[in-house]
Structure 1
Amino acid sequence: MFLKQFAVCAVAVGLALATPVQAQETVRVGVTATGVPFTFVDTATQLPTGAMVDLARAIVEDNGLKPAFELTAFSALVPSLSTHKIDLISAGMLATDERRKVVDFSDPVYTYGEGMFVAANAKDFTIEDLKGATVGAQIGTTFADSLKALSVFGEVKLYDSIADIMRDVKLGRIKAGFGDQPIVAYQITKNPDLGIRLVKGYKPLKEGGVALAVAKDNPKLLQQVNASIAKLKANGQLAKIFAAYGL
């Protein structure tokens, strides 16, 4: 009887000791479906992909953890992080002072600004040329507020996605659209029939650094993310990830 009880206890202890090794913590990563080439859904696999998806996977796995990607509207990323529906944001999101009030950002991983796009058969415009006109921008982006602050346009119409802005520009419903320059450029390259083009020589109102974000009460994860970013920069893997998507 004693030997039997000892054997049962030994098995229980063995399982208890093995559990932490076998269990792999999951990090819920918020990404968008409309941020090509940073984050989007692969039509063949129906899975999230893109530069920031690959980067998040590399960072999470570098820490011995498992990523679980959660498709989230861009405007809902910060609220989802603040309410702990996700643990990490990895998208084409610029680290701004306003966002820093509610989330903590990692070290920057990429820098860009917005681009202006018009219908393929339209002439190039300057900001001044668009005085009183209706233009489009994506809700939740930093430059949407910057465009409104100019007090030049008749209306800065806000859209859920860049694809929606492109559609209305092509159809002539709005005069011009503004979106993340690398995202717009990538989509035009991949689909020449979009019916839009970037305005050459347009100077962004604001450039910023793309960074991952964590909740303010999760300093441990932020430290892990930054350590992995430093490692990926040093070994060249970070540059390879972005280069694979034309960035």
Structure 2
Amino acid sequence: MNKTRLFYVPMMALVLLFALFGPVASVYGQELSDQPKQTLIMGTSPDFPPYESVDAKNNGEIIGLDIDIAKYILGELGYELQIQSMDFSGLIAALQTGRVDFVMSGMSATEERKKSVDFSEPYYFARNTIISKAEFGYESLDDLSGKIVGAQLGSIQEAVANQVEGAAQVRKLNKVADLIQEINSNRIDAAIVEDAVALDMTNSNPGLVMSFLPADESDGGYAIAFPKGSPHVEEFNQVIAEMRESGKLDELLQKWFPEAKDADARGMIDFSVLEGYVPYILRGIGVTLLFTLVSALLGLILGSVLSLFKISGIKPLMWFATAYTSVFRGTPLLVQLTLIYYATPQLTGYDIPALLAAGLAFGLNSAAYLSETIRAGIMAVDKGQREAAIALGIPYPKMMISIIFPQALRNILPALVNEVVALVKESSLVSVIGVTDLMRRADVVRADTFRSFEALLLVAAIYYVLVLILTSLARMLERRLRRGD
């Protein structure tokens, strides 16, 4: 086998790979330094109504008190507002890596956070509450001694929960809506939640009650977070002061803060809560399928290149392919995803969009697994066919494309289908960086309704149907390939 010609094939494949995905990067990405100065990007976690949530029943826009305040401030200062959605636990990292210019997400200006970011003057002072089942009705932190207490990860309420003396356990969850599910499932005894959110929670869930905790004099209040040394802090503070003096701030508070009301009695599972949300959830199918297609294509192309490296006999290529496979199979996919999304802007200055970061992370990870599958398929093809092709003078690239790969594909088709199915299901992980796939949209509905079963069951059914369709198409292709024998 001519090793020189063998070397050209993976090189040509890599050129094709960059030719295919280079334009995607230029369309979806942009340099951080080139972003227009008149546009400021606001980071938020839209699962915290009434401060920020997704208007899933209408146009899918992010709405809430923080959004209205941000729009007013930027309007007064002459900036355009762009909103970037992500998990609450990633907001500080987004500020530090330059992905966003400021953060508004019901974030308290704590002394610990002030070490990492700068804060504006507070625009609201909230009170913490205890949410529990009506039969218990815990009223103070002392009542929670020996109990399992829940709080949102990274929130000021987490710090309050950690102050409970003798608490059996403090359970930290990413989303406030998950706390309700944990209480209803008897996994936690109570949750520490901010007052306006607690009103929404108790209004939506019968059997839950809230009790106010004493005001914390050391509480810095909810404020706008900026990167260290941001030039925008002072001008934002001026507008906040003007809003407070003019009564505009009180007007917005009255608009968004709910009043206590009797909750409608509902059963354990009541799909009527999804009324108006189903079209919003179904729009996530396109994002999920697009992401899966991009990831599968990247994984197949790069996996083929790596498999050729492994059988090339050229030691540097073999070492590279082996090391690549070891790293990507030996580290968690979620870690790879977050590293690509958050580290890329910081290391290169390139603002990689969430969907592109997800496609790259899943494609690169998939390539590590597919490289072994494709290599096994190639090696399973009868060696006599290669020898015959070489004896007939067939060029190596043509031999691989026309003779070897088609037969290898037939051998590994079931494994390829399994990988695509895995990509469809694992795509739910991309919701952590704000990609609005099926799972992210289900989280939005859960945050709006404070009910989990209904949205999750609907999304599970959609994933199941997608997998059935993919499996059926793969069987049809397999039968067609067999008829071609």
Fold match, TM over 0.5? yes
Q: Deviations over 1:102-121 (max 9, x none)?
A: 11111111001321010244
- AA of the residue aligned to 2:104: S
SS across alignment from 2:127: strand
TM-score by length of 1: 0.82
SS in 2 for 1:209: coil
* TM-score normalised per structure 2: 0.43
Q: CA separation in 1, counterparts of 2:137 and 2:114?
A: 38
Q: Select which of 222, 237, 246 maps to 2:248.
A: 237
Instruction: Report whether the alignment pairs 1:186 with 2:197.
Output: no
Quick one: which amino acid aligns to residue 107 of structure 1?
E
CA–CA separation in structure 2 for the residues paired with 1:156 and 1:114: 16
Partner residue of 1:5? none
For residue 234 of structure 1, report the CA deviation from its aligned partner.
2.3
1:70-89 superposed matches below 5 A = 70-89=84-103
Q: How does 1:110-125 map to 2 (within 5 A)?
A: 110-125=124-139
Higher relative contact order (CA 8 A, sep 6+): 1
Q: 1:204 Cα deviation (Å)?
A: 5.2
1:210 counterpart residue number: 222
Q: What are the ranges of 5 or more consecutive residues in structure 2 without an aligned counterpart?
A: 1-35, 259-485
Displacement of 1:195: 4.0
Deviation at 1:244, TM superposition (A): 0.4
Amino acid at match of 1:237: K
2:221 aligned partner, one-letter code:
G
- Measured on the aligned residues, the alpha-carbon RMSD in Å equals 2.0
8 Å contact kept, 1:112–1:208: no
Which stretch shows the higher mean deviation, 122-131 or 66-75?
A: 122-131
Partner AA of 1:66 in structure 2: E
Match of 1:100 in 2: 114
CA distance in 1, matches of 2:140, 2:245: 40
Confirm whether residue 25 of structure 1 aligns to residue 10 of structure 2. Answer: no
**Partners in 2 of 1:48 and 1:212 — Cα distance?**
17
Is 1:68 the counterpart of 2:79 in the alignment? no
Aligned pair in 2 of structure 1 residues 96, 175: CA closer, same or farther (>3 Å)? same
Q: Which runs of 5+ in 1 are unaligned?
A: 1-22
In 2, are the aligned partners of 1:170 and 1:195 still within 8 Å (CA)? Answer: no
Following superposition, the deviation at residue 216 of structure 1 comes to 1.1
Q: CA deviation at 1:169?
A: 0.6
CA contact (8 A) 2:144 2:164 kept: no
The one-letter code matched in structure 2 to 1:122 is F
Q: Name the count of aligned residue pairs.
A: 221
User: Aligned-pair distance for 1:128?
Assistant: 2.8
Equivalent-residue separation in structure 1 for 2:257 and 2:102 (angstroms): 24
Which one of the candidate residues 43, 52, 56 is aligned to 1:39? 52
How far, CA to CA, are the matches of 2:75 and 2:156 in structure 1?
30
The verdict on how the C-alpha distance between 1:152 and 1:68 changes in structure 2, with shifts beyond 3 A counting, is same
- Pairwise CA distance, 1:31: 1.3
Tell me if the contact between 2:128 and 2:213 (Cα under 8 Å) persists in the aligned partners: no
**Structure 2 counterpart SS, 1:112:** coil
Deviation, 1:184, is 1.2
How far apart are residue 188 of structure 1 and its match? Answer: 2.6
Inter-partner Cα distance in structure 1 for 2:185 and 2:72: 40
Deviation at 1:203, TM superposition (A): 2.8
- Give a deviation string over 1:20-58, Cα, whole Å, max 9, x none: xxx771110011111111111112221111001100111
Instruction: Return closer, same or farther for 1:237/1:117 CA change in 2, 3 Å cut-off.
Output: same
Choose between structure 1 and 2: higher strand proportion: 1
How far apart are the structure 2 equivalents of 1:133 and 1:161? 20
Larger radius of gyration: 2
Give yes or no for contact 2:110–2:219 (8 Å, CA) kept in 1: no
CA distance in structure 1 between the partners assigned to 2:167 and 2:213 by the alignment: 17
